[in-house]
Structure 1
Amino acid sequence: MIPIVDITVSANAFELGRLLEEVPGIQIELERIVPLQDSIIPLFWVSNADRDQDEITAILAASPLTEDV
């Protein structure tokens, strides 16, 4: 059996949340993908944002913490 856990983290306690705090009502759902190499590839969904996908992508890309969006 594989355990499944749902965790809610406040925006200011999580780096991605702090990055997107300026977007009212945003919800971010993370999922960890099985790595194909020596790294973990994060996958996440953004919902309930008052902004379009291009604007959220630009916010993420502008961060020095982001390698690729």
Structure 2
Amino acid sequence: MAIRHFDGEWQLTCGEYDHPANCSDFQVVGFGHLAARQDNLAQVVELEPGWLAEWVVGEWILDRHDD
């Protein structure tokens, strides 16, 4: 899942909800490093602030994100 917050910041997550509440297994990674490994991310680089994109069955599904 790719989220573009209203302040312009990006958040990319695996889309699962089984992580610990204290976020101890999260990593900070540059968007360019992720895009180099997962080329479908190039399709969401123009995502407007306040939107999210979720990869579902081979395509990005866009939806508004409420910060």
State the TM-score, normalized to the length of structure 1: 0.26
Q: Which has the larger radius of gyration?
A: 1
Structure of greater relative contact order (alpha carbons < 8 Å, 6+ residues apart): 2
State the TM-score, normalized to the length of structure 2: 0.27
Larger proportion of strand = 2
Larger proportion of helix = 1
